[in-house]
Amino acid sequence: MKRPTQTDVAKLAGVSRATVSYVLNDQTNGRVPISEETRQRVLEAIAELDYAPDARAQALRSGSTKTIGLILPDIQNPHFWEVASGVEQEANTAGYQILFSSIPPDKKYSEDIFKNLSHRRIDGLIMIPSFIYHSEEAQKTLAQLLKRRVPIVGMMADLEGVNYKIDRVISDYRDTTLEVMKHLLSLQHRRIGLIYGIAVPELGNDRLFAYRESLQAAGLPIDPDLIVECGPTIEDSYNATRKLLELPSRPTAILAINDFLAIGALRAIKDLNLNVPQDVSLCGYDDIPLAKYLVPRLSTASKDGGKIGREATRLLLARLKDPSRPPQKIKLPAHLILRESIGAAPF
């Protein structure tokens, strides 16, 4: 069936095509002398024909696609769902749609996705730019976007030496890791494991570096056996936790790099006939919705993914209104949430 056009709408309503265009673009409120009766006839014809304007044609005329690109890593992790939800809520309120891409761990595929999105007609881009740090190809694509003056907002940790001259929402877990480590040490934990299940190191260095710093400050050795690198899935963390707990001198507390991986750790602890927190204390990060419903309720830290997404979108919308303003930076502090999964060291 042929898609209806503005000409079809005009014919059914008995008006000119220009009148249909005025009604569609809401130019009848005093700016163009069209009666309310004529406007209603046009709207009824639009409804009867189920007419929808061609988005591509509108974009060419206006120079705006009303579309924002969004790039996030590891879409399996519920934390990033919250970030995406925050972006979408704020964008939809402003009349924008989201074009979403998830960046996989594979470097070449990530570069291709970024390049492909850069060729799309979008008004701006919001992203977690960790995949760019070690990719010359991705950095070239970013430079091309900036040269075209495409507004970009990065959601990221405040990393030394990383300055892409873009607007940024800064949030990390350094301070909350120092805080939870201090708490664990006060409870006499001396063997503390870290499940480092992350595809891109820069996404977890804030926790890794703070973990090491805390041990050194307490005069404790950094035991490489207590830091288990693994993949980003629940099964990966399950296996990593078993590896930790089967050490001759096992940890009495475990930090999982995020709540998603803490779920696998919790299952592994139970399968080894141990209990949380009586035998092993456990803490995650991100405060995903499931965290407070686990048994026991999971201690964690929160950056508020939804707020990060909303603030990033506000920065982008402000950049669209004022392209020449200096790069902006918003810092959002994380906070520690102590629940039932942390207790005193058992020995």
CATH number at residue 49: 1.10.260.40
The answer to whether residue 81 sits within a structural domain is yes
Q: Is the torsion defined by CA of 125, 126, 131, 136 positive or negative? A: positive
One domain, residues 194 and 78: no
Q: What's the domain range around 33? A: 6-53
One domain, residues 73 and 219: no
- CA–CA dist 87, 91 (Å, integer): 6
The answer to whether residue 347 sits within a structural domain is no
- Listed residue (95, 80, 73, 71) closest to 317, CA to CA: 95
Do 179 and 206 meet the contact criterion of CB atoms below 8 Å apart? no
Beta strands in 48-144 (DSSP E): 67-73, 97-103, 124-127
Assign residue 318 the CATH number of its domain.
3.40.50.2300
pLDDT at 104: 73
Q: Residue 347: is it exposed, middle or buried by C-beta count within 10 angstroms (0-12/13-18/19+)?
A: exposed
The answer to whether residue 341 sits within a structural domain is no
Question: What's the residue count for the chain?
Answer: 347
- CA–CA dist 309, 233 (Å, integer): 23
pLDDT above 70 coverage of the chain, percent = 92
Whether the per-residue pLDDT at 56 is higher than 70: the answer is no
Q: With a threshold of 0.85, does the pTM exceed it? A: no
One domain, residues 298 and 311: no
The answer to whether residue 22 sits within a structural domain is yes
One domain, residues 118 and 36: no
One domain, residues 234 and 143: no
Question: If you average pLDDT over residues 278-299, what whole number do you get?
Answer: 97
**Which residue in the block uniquely carries the two structure tokens 């940890």?**
251
One domain, residues 113 and 148: yes
Number of domains in the chain: 3
Q: Which of 46-50, 58-62, 279-283 ranks highest by mean pLDDT?
A: 279-283
Res. 274 pLDDT band, cuts 50 70 90: very high
Question: If you average pLDDT over residues 272-290, what whole number do you get?
Answer: 97
The answer to whether residue 28 sits within a structural domain is yes
One domain, residues 96 and 69: yes
Whether the per-residue pLDDT at 47 is higher than 90: the answer is no
- pLDDT, mean over the chain: 90
Whether the per-residue pLDDT at 228 is higher than 90: the answer is yes
Whether the per-residue pLDDT at 210 is higher than 80: the answer is yes
Whether the per-residue pLDDT at 73 is higher than 90: the answer is no
- The answer to which of 130-144, 222-236, 319-333 has the lowest mean pLDDT is 130-144
Question: If you average pLDDT over residues 261-282, what whole number do you get?
Answer: 98
Backbone angles phi, psi at 99, to 5 degrees: -110, 110
One domain, residues 83 and 41: no
One domain, residues 318 and 292: no
Whether the per-residue pLDDT at 28 is higher than 80: the answer is no
